[in-house]
Structure 1
């Protein structure tokens, strides 16, 4: 793990909110090598001391609760450096190479580099090609150089392929780390443990016992200050193409042959390959899109999407997507997966609902109407944990059955603060463990699935806005699941 972490876009929002606090908490947990330093690359005029003060303020503001002291904070930021660079200036990379070599000598990092592109995707090509031209990507067995890139990985399949071709012309696939911060979340990593480490669940994890699955990611916030980005992406590309499909893959994948990186990734990709094709007829029947109008969040009025900053007043960008998908294999044939994500919804949470089939209409199910089926609830955020709901007799003289829950909450205890996703992902990238990063074929098949939906939508004019802020999306989303005789869990 001896290396220099070189952050392009190091003066930006991502670095301040996530990366610098993550480095600090890794330092506190003694996960960082003594042979380690951070170099922030940006266009602004800053001294090392000015940059370090910025980093201190960011860490104090955005870091998760910890037991760190001012001495700890000063110790870690003393290893933070700033280098001014115009990323389009090829000669500037010659100076950067010399600067990093001096830091290599100072910290004994042996030429190992973790390049983090915390910049817009349109700058990826420029940076990686200049890194190559300046001789800063060797991977010669004596040192390693790895690349971390943030989503979005293109805006459709063709742009993703073009982007990937550029990146892999400089860095081999095993040195590319496509980061999806959802994969670093503690409970997301726990899905495999819940399934494959418990005889209680894995034998039931199939179409013989599971009625349907709901995957829900709800946000109360609007587009905030991301208008220009969101206008191009929308909920389909921003959430479904990566986060929601990642949750789907981990929930539905087959047991890997081993718990190594490639075995896990292979099984995830098989899920995407098995998704039923989104034909135009299926898109119109099984996919719902929405855009929020004005409404109320927590009792306070909020504007509609079209009134948000730097958003077109005539925008047809979706802020909500609900869909029904099917996985065409022996394990899941006939089991619908319902996905829902949106902005300006009543609550903020991400969860996976595994609803088991109801028992036949005999005994209690015959005598006592309205019994609920068993349900496993995996909570990803903000509350992390697992809840198992089952039926039991209510105490008393009456023969009454009620649903009760067994609840494991991972982050409810006062001292139980889960690491931020970026802590785990940064550490894994330093170690060379890419299990929690997205392989190229995952990106490719995810875009193939999403592009079919986007093409149908591009040919039709939506009736937006079609749900008020503070509600659970357009009425069609409720109808989508209720026509199958089911209900969204949060809607009762």
Structure 2
């Protein structure tokens, strides 16, 4: 099996925050990989824009260092690297003032696709949109890429959408959630809607429950100031896990196009029941083994911000009535692992007797670190001695099933930036979708703020607070083990 690489049309891309962490770790290395793959060709111009004093050669040196740090094989691709670096330019721009905008307008060409990546603090989104409009850079060929967070509640999300809508049509706004660019997340739609095997079973009649886990082994690191104002609910649950829930629960769209897919996701969010206070557990990691606690890392010994949240959600529609969705995410947990587990119901009657034990089919979609899909099936244990049943996985870990070259997928940012250039919004969030997700999350946050309870402590390297285990135990269920 050979993957096809389809080149995109020539484009101009401006990265606001072009010297920032995201540009260094993801955007510039990702663009280089797409260039090496043959997806970027022709007369392309990539411009870094930031406040720091730097010239174009300095920016090319910065990009080369970032690419070499990200891709150890880049040193063997010197010809490609030199060609890619020749595409790069740099302009000193003041997002809140007028400095640099005339120069940016001069080198950004109007006869091709123009994309502007807002890799900056959210408070700069509005001023950037306004200045792009003022300097004639907001025509029909223009697309803007907006990084999260898209507000911190419904009110601020609405205001952000309003400001962007003053200068750009919704079809020009690409709200990026890198989880939607992961290969396995997109494969989830292929599994559901491309296989007759699963879709007839994808409902409350056959599915007992669904678990969505996004676990991180690291702490808040250098994001302490931001994270202590956001917390796990705003930083992860409201966007990343919500998007995964939507893809699992949505109805088949009439067509695989941006608005059809996003219409169905929106219906899921609107069908979510309010989450009862007893169905939410918050936690905060403690220090151990020389690693600081959450409060030490954020520099706030009285912090009541959660680094872990688990909850039970219900989708009130015909397909999912009665099937709970258990969602959890947290930092400093046992492993870095993200997965969706669709747990099917028991067979209505076991002909093998109690000694055969209890067995269930579980479809697991592994998002990271080892992307793949696994279906657990029950078989007879080999050997004499009667009918003993065991569960075995039908495993399609992509690196093993497709080979190392085929499984060397583009990073999520690579895929999504190419989709921006193509004008494909399928994997990006629409404004009304963002607002509905915040409306749901705001109610959950208001519930614990009204109670005034602090997050529960949990040990570094654990699965979170014990109360999160009880969230499922009281329903007669168990969380799956967190493992890579």
Question: Does the alignment reach a TM-score above 0.5?
Answer: yes
1:361-406 Cα deviation digits (max 9, x unpaired): 4302x34342221111110111111111111111111221111111
Structure 2 counterparts to residues 419-434 of structure 1, below 5 A: 419-434=410-425
Segment of structure 1 superposing worse, 456-465 or 116-125: 456-465
Equivalent position SS for 1:425: helix
1:125 offset after TM fit, Å? 1.0
1:294 offset after TM fit, Å? 1.1
Distance 1:67 1:355 in 2: 46
Paired residues of 1:235 and 1:341 also in contact (CA < 8 A):
yes
Distance 2:83 2:258 in 1: 34
Distance 1:233 1:156 in 2: 10
The 1:60/1:272 distance shift into structure 2, 3 A limit, reads same
Structure 2 partner of 1:293: 286
Structure 1 partner of 2:252: 255
Structure 2 partner of 1:394: 381
1:332 offset after TM fit, Å? 0.5
- 1:236 is matched with which residue: 233, 238, 259? 233
The 1:165/1:490 distance shift into structure 2, 3 A limit, reads same
Distance 1:361 1:315 in 2: 51
1:44-103 Cα deviation digits (max 9, x unpaired): 111211110110010111248679611111110110001011222225322321232xxx
Equivalent position SS for 1:411: helix
Paired residues of 1:217 and 1:340 also in contact (CA < 8 A):
yes
Paired residues of 1:217 and 1:349 also in contact (CA < 8 A):
yes
Structure 2 partner of 1:120: 121
Structure 1: gaps of 5 or more residues: none
Task: Report the number of matched residues.
Answer: 471
Structure 1 partner of 2:472: 481
Structure 2 counterparts to residues 155-234 of structure 1, below 5 A: 155-234=152-231
Structure 2 counterparts to residues 302-321 of structure 1, below 5 A: 302-308=291-297, 310-321=298-309
Equivalent position SS for 2:124: helix
Note the aligned Cα RMSD (angstroms). Answer: 1.6
Distance 1:65 1:256 in 2: 41
Structure 2 counterparts to residues 356-395 of structure 1, below 5 A: 356-364=344-352, 366-395=353-382
Paired residues of 1:289 and 1:322 also in contact (CA < 8 A):
yes
1:215 offset after TM fit, Å? 0.3
With normalisation by structure 1, the TM-score equals 0.93
1:291-350 Cα deviation digits (max 9, x unpaired): 11113xxxx531110010x43111111000000001101111100000010000001111
Distance 1:206 1:421 in 2: 29
Structure 2 partner of 1:135: 136
1:36 offset after TM fit, Å? 1.0
Distance 1:390 1:440 in 2: 41
The 1:386/1:67 distance shift into structure 2, 3 A limit, reads farther
Segment of structure 1 superposing worse, 125-134 or 240-249: 125-134
Segment of structure 1 superposing worse, 395-404 or 7-16: 395-404
Distance 1:426 1:175 in 2: 13
Distance 2:221 2:368 in 1: 20
1:459 offset after TM fit, Å? 2.5
Paired residues of 1:231 and 1:311 also in contact (CA < 8 A):
no
The 1:257/1:427 distance shift into structure 2, 3 A limit, reads same
Structure 1 partner of 2:340: 352
Equivalent position SS for 2:218: coil
1:256-307 Cα deviation digits (max 9, x unpaired): 11111111111111110111123xxx1x210111111113xxxx53111001
Segment of structure 1 superposing worse, 59-68 or 414-423: 59-68
Distance 1:408 1:200 in 2: 16
With normalisation by structure 2, the TM-score equals 0.94
- 2:315 is matched with which residue: 316, 319, 327? 327
- 1:414 is matched with which residue: 381, 401, 404? 404
1:491 offset after TM fit, Å? 6.7
Equivalent position SS for 1:116: strand
Equivalent position SS for 1:11: coil
The 1:66/1:391 distance shift into structure 2, 3 A limit, reads farther
Distance 1:321 1:174 in 2: 34
Paired residues of 1:65 and 1:417 also in contact (CA < 8 A):
no
- 1:22 is matched with which residue: 30, 33, 45? 30
Paired residues of 2:282 and 2:456 also in contact (CA < 8 A):
no
Structure 1 partner of 2:4: none
Equivalent position SS for 2:167: coil
Distance 1:374 1:431 in 2: 39
Distance 2:413 2:198 in 1: 29
Distance 1:348 1:171 in 2: 38
Q: Does 1:53 align with 2:61?
A: yes
The 1:129/1:258 distance shift into structure 2, 3 A limit, reads same
Distance 1:359 1:315 in 2: 47
Paired residues of 2:49 and 2:93 also in contact (CA < 8 A):
yes
Distance 2:76 2:142 in 1: 31
